[in-house]
Amino acid sequence: KSGASSMKRRESETTMPKFKDDTTLETHKLAGSNYGYTAARPDQLTATEYTLAQVVFDESGSTSPFARQMEKALQAIVRACRMSPRADNLMLRTLNFGSRLREVHGFKPLNGCHEADYDGAYQPGGGTALFDSTHNAVEATNAYARQLSDNDFQVNAVVFVLTDGDDNESKFKAADVGKALQACVAGESMESIISILIGVNVNGMAQSGGTLDDYLKRFAAEAGFTQYVGIDNLDDKALAKLCEFVSKSISSQSQALGTGGPSKTLDF
């Protein structure tokens, strides 16, 4: 019985189930990966330009003590972004990862994202597929930006990846993430992309030796992230600061759309 249960769990993980099944989103595959993404159809979009925002959350087993905090963080980010003067030009995708990737929802206009939808969205357990999830986020951004650009939309993007551990599950490497980020620029489907890696509780030790902070700094440098932020302790004060940082960064990048370049990075 336990073996059958384990098999069903693994099968569920590999299909990347969505927290809320949204029939307005199309499913897309990504070359070279078992994981794709979902996104709104271009003919359903009403604006002429969009900022594609992605929030990628580590939900490995070590995040269990602050799982509810992370749900509240996502809700706070959505709430703040909905108050932005550029809210109608924002699209959001949320992706969680433990040992496998789990798309909470695909790219959809922010006005279709509601705080209550994220209750129960955080389901901690498993290892840390940090590289695979980051690679998927970047590849999905690039693919969807290309689709929108081909349909005469103007696009830029911002990707946030939050983790409390070093990778121990991925097929892809840090260098693969770097190649994916470079392809976003070379592809010219986006005006600009900002990528921000956020480490939490970074004073702990990495499995590969040294501190987690050192490990994530190396990952950020090798992959070519725009910015790295290390948070020593994820208490309520730090969480509130994190939510403000993410929502302001999204808003800033959206306001930069049409200027020909990315927004300036913000101090945490």
Q: Is the separation of the CB atoms in 92 and 137 below 8 Å?
A: no
Rounded to whole angstroms, the Cα distance separating 92 from 114 reads 11
Supply the pTM of this predicted model. Answer: 0.90
Check pLDDT > 90 for residue 122: no
pLDDT in tens, 90-103: 999 999 999 999 99
Check pLDDT > 90 for residue 32: no
Reading the block at residue 110, the tokens are 């922010």
Return the higher-pLDDT residue of 97 and 188: 97
Conformational region of residue 173, where left means phi above 0, alpha means psi within -120 to 50, and beta covers everything else? beta
At 6, is the pLDDT very low, low, confident or very high (cuts 50, 70, 90)?
very low
Residue 147: how many CB atoms within 10 A of its CB? 18
pLDDT score of 149: 96
Our CA angle for 180, 266, 103, nearest 5°, is: 45
62-76, 117-131, 213-227, range with greatest mean pLDDT: 213-227
Return the higher-pLDDT residue of 64 and 12: 64
Mean pLDDT of 61-72: 86
Q: Is the separation of the CB atoms in 152 and 126 below 8 Å?
A: no
Check pLDDT > 60 for residue 5: no
pLDDT score of 13: 39
Check pLDDT > 50 for residue 74: yes
pLDDT score of 67: 82
